[in-house]
Amino acid sequence: MLIAGLTLLGLFLLIAIFAPLLAPYGYSTLNDPDGDFGSLSAPSAAHPFGTTIAGYDVLSRVIWGSRTAFFVIVIAVVCSIFAGTLLGLVSGFLGGWLDRVMVMLADAIYAFPSLLLAIVMSIVISGGQSSLWGGILAASISITVVFIPQYFRVVRSEVIRVKAEAFVESARVIGASRGRIMFRHILRNSTRSLPLVFTLNASEAILTLAGLGFLGFGIEPNSAAEWGYDLNKAIADVSNGVWWTSLWPGLAIVLVVMGLTLTGESLNDLADPRLRSRRRAKRGSGSVAQTSMVPVQASGASSPEEDSR
């Protein structure tokens, strides 16, 4: 599972990095020296994935869309990790009224559906603008607001557990400052599960971005390529027997989410000591079963060497 997930992620990461070299056309290109691409052209040598109803090359839109997706993942998840970790560290370490207020705010954010909250934040942040970086930042920040409570809760629970350990009390006894205890002793021992949450949230970020684009709150086609927007414009094509405009963007979303999910689940299995002990137990039982098949000499029988003696 881990190898399959990393392979899918590595493939799309390479596509995103080398999109200008791999894409035959720009994401908003409608013609070439031979003329317009045409509307809903079937897959051909010039357009392997066909064209959309607006006349865009589907292959180019899918390749450029991978770059938009990874931009949003990196910005959204990294910002939410830093903000959620810092808030969880402060809340869990200080406690008191500040901890209660921050927990109440996190619960209030959880009360809203994540996609609805992302839509509201996207409208507030973008202000109707849909430029390349404006749309990416609006989508990223709106997804960040959704993810901050998750990292906040994970880090806060770990901080509450770690700050009661003996080594933290020892640091207080020898006179370590509050900042040193928080960042050097507690924080370093409270972030072990963040890589697992990161991979799972990255897949959710892809789906949230696709949902924003599908509902019309994402990035316009002349600003950047986005898979959710392309799926929205391909709804009417499916009922008319045009399959290529929806197949490839949808398949790209599925494969990226699958790669992130497989990687996250595999990391979770590797980090769980209970699962590691089960694997060792299974390997041990297998070796015991093999040794039990070795014929054992009866206690009353004598060996050939004893008979010769």
The CATH number assigned to the domain holding 265 equals 1.10.3720.10
pLDDT at site 248: 92
Tokens of 86: 């810092």
Q: Which of 16-20, 22-26, 36-40, 131-135 has the lowest mean pLDDT?
A: 131-135
Q: Is residue 72 part of a domain?
A: yes
Q: Is residue 105 part of a domain?
A: yes
- Rounded to 5°, the CA angle 37-41-45 comes to 80
Give pLDDT tens digits for 246-290. Answer: 899 999 999 999 998 888 878 777 766 565 566 666 666 655 545
Which residue, chain included where needed, has tokens 């109440």? 104
Give pLDDT tens digits for 171-194. Answer: 888 888 888 888 888 888 887 777
Q: Is residue 55 part of a domain?
A: no
- What is the rounded distance in angstroms from the CA atom of residue 82 to the CA atom of residue 283? 40
Three-state secondary structure along 243-300? CHHHHHHHHHHHHHHHHHHHHHHHHHHHHCHHHHHHHHHHHHHHHHHHHHCCCCCCCC
Nearest Cα to Cα of residue 37 among 66, 60, 62, 7 = 60
Tally the domains of the chain. Answer: 1
Domain that holds residue 189: 63-284
DSSP letter for 57, please. Answer: B
Give pLDDT tens digits for 208-251. Answer: 888 888 887 777 767 788 898 889 888 888 888 888 888 999 99
- What is the rounded distance in angstroms from the CA atom of residue 187 to the CA atom of residue 300? 65
pLDDT at site 298: 45
The H-assigned helical ranges of the chain are: 2-17, 19-22, 58-94, 96-111, 114-126, 132-162, 166-173, 178-180, 194-214, 227-233, 235-239, 244-271, 273-292, 304-308
Q: Is residue 7 part of a domain?
A: no
Percent of the chain whose pLDDT exceeds 70: 83
Average model confidence (pLDDT) for the chain? 80
Nearest Cα to Cα of residue 225 among 74, 97, 103, 66 = 66
Q: Is residue 13 part of a domain?
A: no
Q: Is residue 47 part of a domain?
A: no
Q: Is residue 43 part of a domain?
A: no
Q: Is residue 37 part of a domain?
A: no
Quick one: average pLDDT of 54-68?
90
Task: Grade residue 304 by pLDDT with cuts at 50, 70 and 90.
Answer: very low
